[in-house]
Each structure stands twice: as C-alpha cells, then as structure tokens.
Structure 1
C-alpha cells in the first residue's frame, strides 16, 4: 500500500525540452509498461480540436472546475462535428487516455495549449545491487507535468516539471542518480506520487 515518492529533477519553460528529458529518463526503465498515460486540460476550442486530431479515440470529460448542466462529469458531444458555439459553453474540458508507448507522445506535446497536462511512463528502475538500488514496478516511473510543479497536478505555473518516481520510502540515492543522467539534480523534497 502507499504512493510513490516523486522527486522533481527538471523545471523549464521549454515544453519540448521537458518532454525530451523525460523520454531519456523513461528509456532507463526496465520492464516498461507498453502504454503511457496522457492527460490534458483543454481551455480553448483550438485545444480541444488539436487533441481530437492527435489522440486515438479520445474521451473528453468536464474539468473539475466545470461540471455539466446536470452535475455530470462525462461529456457526450462529438467534438469533431460540434461547431464552436456549441462547444464554447462546455470549456474547459479534460482528456485522459492510455496510448501505446511511442505512438503519439510527440504529437501530444506539439498540440499542448495553456492548460495543465501530463505524461506518465511506468516501469521498474534497474536492479543495481552494488549500490543497494532496487526497482519497484508498483512505484517506479517518470512523469512530466506541463504547466505545473506538483506530481498530483496542483496549481498552474509557467514552467514544466519532470519527476522521477521511486518507492514509497523515497529512494533519494536513486533519484539523484537519475537526475544526474540528464545533467540535473533533485530540486526539492519528494512529493506524493502515484
């Protein structure tokens, strides 16, 4: 039981750089999940249309800030056929989808708007018994949060943050080693992860 510990290892205002560094880290995972999780808050009609064009069979929902007219979270309109005037009152929307690893992540990043978004890669860090570092498939992974600095998606920021997730006890030596792999360091205390 419990959540991973998420260490921030990069903050930048360059979304493409954050994505590339997160990808570099995710390449170190062993026993990688075949899917990645994508999340985006869509604040504008353009954001919705761009994500609909990029994601395979996206399922949109009302954002936590905007509940549907009858208190619902699910969103049933077809965004590819609805006109702008029909979509506008429903904004902001959210989309969350699991996609095959390596399939659309770069297009997803290119389609990002100004809303918060994230990509999660799950797997297991390699066993390194000589340094007493052990992987944990339940906790390990990489996360990039666009326009945010909290692994649990908190407040909006100008910058993007890359996190490495380690076991629930907070494997700081592992986090430091991973940060060094991208020429960085652990930036803050660990946060509650997934």
Structure 2
C-alpha cells in the first residue's frame, strides 16, 4: 500500500477557523465513506484520562525504547509519555477529541472516498488512496515531533497528483504554505 503525500495549507491558532476550512474541503470531497483517525502524544494523566474516556479501546505504546503498550495489557498511566492511536471513528467524535486533547500534540485525519475532478490542472476524480485531510494540533508536523502553539491543516494527495494540493487549497481560498511530504502510515 502506498503512502499519501500531504501539503500544509493553513497554520492558525484558531481551531474554529481550521474546522471551517475542513468543512469546506469535505463539502467538495466524496464523503460517502467518511471516518476519522486520531493520534496523540500524551504526557499527562488528565489528558490520558479524558482521551481514554472517549477512546477506551485505543492502541497505545510507550515512547522511546521503554516498554509498555496496550498490546501487552499494560496500564498506560504508568508508561507516560505514550503514543495513542485510534482508527475508523465517526466524524462526530472530533470536537470532543480536540477538547480532551488540550495542549497535547495530536492529529485528526478525515478519511473519505475521493477528491473531485480538478480539470484546470488536468486531473480526474481522485480515488480513496490519497484522499485525506489532517488537522495537526499543537504541533507543526504529521509525526507530532515538532511542538507548536498553533495548528496546521494538511491536504493529502497521491504523489503523481501533486498538482491537486494547490488546487484544493485554492478551492477554499488558500494556498499551499509548505512542501509536499510523505505522510506516515
């Protein structure tokens, strides 16, 4: 399976602004199959508790070379900091997740059926591979390694359809603000 490529189109301290842009992007996308994936770097018990209330069956593992994971049946609060992930969630969980995340670095990725045709850049309808939008909160990168006090919105495309990213940005009145990078997973 190939990775998607992502390009940032918005950096803001205003989560409501980012959510408005995401809604605009989803309105032009084929969302017949829409779900969200979530990942966070969790360092505090209050954040962990809030997230686990929403994502009780989330996968997690201790960061670095330390042991501890959900796969081993360990208690996550004894292994902080951890990486926490959950897949294929309903979109209505996003707002509670962002609230529970607080200041922790996290990423919410909307996964859907495809991007629309982009005839002015010579692209037909895009399929589900590469059809994502990711909001990274409290970090600048998709790996959540570069902490920040703002949030970054990325559009994902197939590498061979790189022209789709600036086209998508233009559809919501924005432009790309960084390089196209291979997305994790």
What is the TM-score normalised by the length of structure 1?
Answer: 0.79
Q: Is residue 176 of structure 1 aligned with residue 176 of structure 2?
A: no
**Cα distance in 1, alignment partners of residues 12 and 27 from structure 2:** 20
**Cα distance in 1, alignment partners of residues 53 and 5 from structure 2:** 34
Q: Is residue 140 of structure 1 aligned with residue 131 of structure 2?
A: yes
Structure with greater strand share of residues: 2
Structure with greater helix share of residues: 2
- Paired position in structure 1 for 2:101: 112
- Paired position in structure 2 for 1:65: 64
- Contact 1:16–1:109 at 8 Å: present in 2 too? no
Gap runs ≥5 in structure 1:
80-86
Q: For each residue in 1:31-58, what CA deviation from the matched residue of structure 2 results, as whole angstroms up to 9, or x when unmatched? A: 5533210111211111011112223x33
What is the TM-score normalised by the length of structure 2?
Answer: 0.82
Residue of 73, 77, 95 corresponding to 1:76: 73
- Contact 2:118–2:167 at 8 Å: present in 1 too? no
Over 3 Å counting, the alpha-carbon distance change for 1:58 and 1:105 in structure 2 is same
**Cα distance in 1, alignment partners of residues 140 and 74 from structure 2:** 32
CA RMSD of aligned residues (A): 2.5
Gap runs ≥5 in structure 2:
none
- Contact 1:67–1:73 at 8 Å: present in 2 too? no
